[in-house]
Structures are given as C-alpha cells and as structure tokens.
A and B are shown apart, each in its own frame.
Chain A
Amino acid sequence: MRNPFATAVSDGLWTEAPKHSGFLHRYVLGQPLGALGFVLIVAGFAVSLLAPFIAPYDPLATDYGNAVAAPSLAHWLGTDSFGRDLFSRILYGGRTAFLIGVSASFVGCTIGLFVGIASAYIGGWVEMIIERFLEILLAIPITVLALVLVSSLGRNLVYGIDLNLILAIALPIIPKMARVARSQALTIRSQSYIDAAVTLGFSDLRIIFRHMAPNITGPYLVLLTAFISQAILIEASLSYLGLGVTEPTPSWGLMLAGNAFNTAMTAPWIVIFPGVAIAVVVFAFSMFGDALRDALDPKARADR
C-alpha cells in the first residue's frame, strides 16, 4: 500500500500542466466518468426518440400465448406477463423517463432560479416571507411532498402525459434551487455592474433577466442535471407505487410494480432489465452533473 501521506505532499502545485488545452480534450481526459455520462445521455435520448423505428414490437401489444417468455432472438429481453415485448417497452419507457425527468427538473429549477433571484433582489419583508415559505417546504422530504401533491392535484392527462405528475415532481425541486440561486444572487447584487445598471435606470425585470440570471447559469445547469436524475428516480418510485404513470403507458417504474416481484422469482428478466435501465440513466445524469460542477467550479472538486 502506498503511504497515504504522499498525496498530501504531491498535491496541487506539483501537478503537470495538461498537454491538451482544448476544453473537450481536457474534459474527456480529466472527467472520464462525466464524459461517459454525457455519451450515455445522448445515446439514451436518441434511442428513446427513435423508439418507433427501433422497437421490434408495439409496446402495448399483448400476446398471451407468449407470456413470460425468456430472452430469445425473437424477444431480446423476453416478455412480461401480458406477453408484451420488454425491449420495446423499455425503449418507450425511456421516453416517459426522459420526458418527465427533464421537464420536471426544468420547471422546478427555472421557477426556483427566479424565486431565488427575486427574493435576493427585492429583499425586505418579501424576502423574509419567501425564505420562511421555502424553509417549510424543505422540511418535508421530496418524495413525500411529491406524493402529497399527486394526491391533491389529481390527474391531468394531455396527449397521454400526466401534466400534474410533472408538476408534483417539479414543485419539491423549487426550494432547493431557490436556496442556491438566492445565495448566488446576494453576492451578485453587491457587484458594481448591478449598481451601474440601477444607476442607468434599467427596470428591475431587465436587471433580473439580463444581468443577474445569466450569471447564475453555472449553478443552474449543475442543479438542473442533478435534479433530472432525482426526478427520474422519483417518477420510477411513484409509478412503482401505482401513483405515477398509469397503465398501459410504458414506464420503467411501472414495469416493476404489481406482480412483477413474484413473477421474477422464476422469470428474473422481468425485474432486472427495467431496473438496469433506470440505473444507467440515473448514473449518466449524476456523473455528468458531477463533472459539470467540477468543470464550472474548480473549488468544489468532488474527487480531490
């Protein structure tokens, strides 16, 4: 074993300068996991988008004569207890996961960003009220809050997509983003370019949108990616509990629900593949998010 104290000495100042200076080169070499995550995200996105062309079967087509079939050349990942092709269902489930994960995280982070900035910019009693309100929201676990919202919002299907489910996952994200945005905005507000903008008589909205928000892009993107993986996990959990996406829409969490566990005692593929799909996508987004954070904020390096 190496002397653990060697690292304490050979750190920082003595590391060699990178041989390649291009951002992409540096990124791939310095952040292999982040690069892998990025590739997986792009691949997963492409495959879900192209699902109708790739999927060998209709994800909703049942074939009871062929139920719980083991993986074979005809059904690459086997079939479920309704005889539906698992590979096709996983491809289409990717659409659900990406759609809900990305939109929930986007809605939550964007609202959170502006709530946070507005709170810091306006200050006074508005800030105090917003702060207390966010603190209260933060005291409730994110999955629990999403479940409460699912219950109170009910369903609102538009083209087969449950908009209220997206909202239920997005709302708990708002306070988390707002807290970060506020602390960033507080620093930015005291910068001289904001003073200059105020002196020039720019409107509050212009200052918030044109001067403050763009300067919080870094943390915003980092949290956006991190919360996509969280949102995908929550969607899977809610669907597993029967409170998220409803049958027959393909969803990875839903594929694990109901009788799946009992069926899997003799037909493991039924639970293995959907879970692997969730894990790969969550892995991809969290690795990419970590790498993004390290790239944008060298001080907060996680792997130091």
Chain B
Amino acid sequence: MIRYLRNRLLLAIPTLLGVATLIFFMLNVLPGDTVETMLRAEGGNPSVELVAAERARLGLDRPLIVQYGDFLAGLATLDLGQSHWTGKPVIEEVMLRLPITLQVAVLSMIVAIAVAVPLGTIAGLYQGSAIDYAIRIFAIGGIALPSFWFGMIIALVMLWSFNWLPPLGSPSLMTDPMRLLQQLILPAIAVGYRYSAILIRMMRSSVIDALHEDYVRTARAKGLRVARIVWRHVVPNSLLPTITMIGLEFALLIGSLVVIEQVFSLNGIGRLFIEAVSRSDFIVIQGIVIVLTVIFITVNLLVDLAYAAIDPRIELG
C-alpha cells in the first residue's frame, strides 16, 4: 500500500513536469504578453521604451531558457511566481480562492453520485421499461444542457417561485455551514447534473452486465431474495466501473466549475483563471493549470484507492 502510493506519486512527477513545461512554452513562445495589455489598460498607447522598461522590470527580457529554469526552480519550492498584473504571489492568491472551488467540486460530486447510483441501478434493473426510458431521458438532459445555462435557469426558477437567491458574501465552512450550503447548492446541482448523467449511463450498463454474470444466476438458483442479490452482488460489482468513471471524467467537472463560478459570482479559482486569461497574465495562468493538474492527478489516485477498498480482489502492489 505504502509502496504503491510512493510509486504512484513518483509517476506523477514526470506528468506534472511535462504539463509545466508544455504550458510554459505554450504561453511564452507565442507573441503578446501581459505588459502591453496592462499598459494599454492604464490608458493610451505605450511607447516602445516603456514596454521594454516594464518587461525588464518583470524579468521578461531574459532568455527564455533562463526564465524556464527560474520557473522550474520556483515550482520545486512551491513558488509559482508573482502575478504580472497585481504583483501578488500566485500561490497566495490560489490558496485564497481554492477552498470555495473545492467545496463546490465535492458538493457536485456528492450530488452526482447520490443521483446516479440509485437511478442507474433502477434503470439497469428495469431495462426497457417506462422507468428506464424516463431515467435515460433524464440522463440525456444532463449531457445536452450546458451546465452554466442550467445553473442560470434553476437560479431564475428559485427566484420566481420562492423569491430566493443564493446569499452573497463568503461564509466559511466552520462558522456558517448552512449559509455556505445555500450559496453552493445551486452551482453544485448545475454541475452535478451533467456529471451524474455520465455516471448514470455507466452504472446502468454495468448493472445490466452484472445481471448476466454467473454469480447472479447462481445466487438466483440457490433462492436468494432479489433485494439481497441486488444489494450484495449487483450493486457492488457495478460500482467499480462507475467509480473509475468518476476519476476519468473529473476533468469535465473542473471544466464546468470554471464556467459555473462566473454564473454564481463565486470567487473561486475558476474566476481567477478567467481574469488571468482575459489579462494575459501568464504567470497566474500557468500556476493555476499546474494546481488543477495536481488536483486531477490526486483525484485519480484517490479513485484507485477507493477501488481497492471496495473490491478485495484488487491488490495495490
């Protein structure tokens, strides 16, 4: 177990290094940077000398390879550099914004799993029936509706029918969890619906596959009650592929989160990212991409651990 964890973490390092390198060169080789955008925003057409001076101040006039070395050295000490726009350290800004994004992510996953596991199981058990069709149509909706639009619509519906809008401000998980939940539940439903649609499909087809397995026939033949077969044999075996899907499709969840934060004015990492993109603040952009990749890798590692915890046949070696 410990050895497995160590190996997985060691394997993550080259990927992370690759992502860092790729993003760095993607952002720095191509023309245009934040300096011009920034100086333009201050008004007027900046002179060539002014741009050059500003670039020199930010260290952007150094050879690319030196900047790259600097960037990697920073990464090794968890220093993601300073924003060219605000001058604040990126890691500080990210840590400030990360909690809200992680809270929405966890809540969306809870919503998605809580919806997908029962619905997928029912659809699989009653394959071809009216209820199966109803659930499949529900799942198709999750795939077709853009989550940011769905978020707007549920917010509007809440407003019209209950005259209720999510509270503003930034309530903390420790002191005011109810207010936090009120604030985050709509974005979590909007993103979770899309995520659950994928999980429902996976759960449904795994349940159908499991029903055809020999162990189900054996259980049936020895007279086990249907409810017991479903709970003890079909559902646990179908959960495995579904859990894998949770990890694989987590990237999709991150993508939706970036957009949904804008809809609900949540001050998360997604909004920071959008701000950075519109300002061409490359240091912040590369910092956030690295943090998101770390999260993605971590979630997939956790999924593998959960996999081993649920299925005793799997040994992590």
Contacts and interface: CB of A to CB of B under 8 A. Distances in A.
Interface residues of A, number: 56
Contact of B289 (A140, A142, A150): A140
Given A135-B15, A147-B273, A154-B32, A141 B251 contact: yes
Contact of B145 (A150, A275, A304): A275
A136 B19 contact: yes
Interface in B26-51: 26-27, 30-32
B306 interface: no
Interface in A139-190: 139-144, 147-154
A7 B127 contact: yes
Nearest to B145: A279
A136 B296 CA distance: 12
A141 B26 CA distance: 16
Contact of B140 (A233, A271, A275, A283): A283
Contacts of A147: 258, 273-274, 277
Contacts of A24: none
A7 B128 contact: yes
Nearest to A7: B127
Nearest to B29: A152
Contacts of A287: 140
Taking chain A's interface residues, is the majority helix, strand, or loop, or is none over half, making it mixed?
helix
A2 interface: yes
B26 A148 contact: yes
B297 interface: yes
B152 A271 contact: yes
Given A5-B220, A132-B18, A151-B280, A143 B27 contact: no
Interface string B283-299: 00100010011001100
A4 B226 contact: yes
Contacts of B30: 152-154
Given A7-B211, A237-B259, A152 B278 contact: no
Nearest to B14: A132
A237 B146 contact: yes
B263 interface: yes
A143 B259 contact: yes
A122 interface: no
Contact of A137 (B22, B27, B254, B285): B22
Contact of A268 (B23, B129, B156): B156
Contacts of B208: 7, 304
B251 A142 contact: yes
A275 B149 contact: yes
Interface stretch (A42-50, A68-76, A217-225, A240-248): A240-248
Contact of B152 (A11, A151, A275): A275
B169 interface: no
Contact of A302 (B126, B201, B263): B201
Interface in A67-86: none
20 contacts: A7-B128, A8-B211, A33-B140, A132-B18, A133-B18, A136-B19, A139-B297, A140-B289, A141-B251, A141-B252, A142-B252, A151-B276, A153-B30, A242-B278, A256-B149, A261-B152, A271-B149, A282-B143, A286-B144, A302-B201
Nearest 4 pairs of A and B residues by beta carbon: A143-B255, A283-B144, A275-B149, A136-B18
Given A8-B211, A8-B216, A141-B251, 20 more contacts: A2-B129, A4-B211, A4-B226, A7-B211, A135-B18, A141-B254, A141-B292, A143-B258, A147-B273, A147-B277, A151-B27, A236-B146, A261-B156, A264-B156, A271-B152, A272-B153, A275-B153, A279-B144, A279-B146, A304-B208
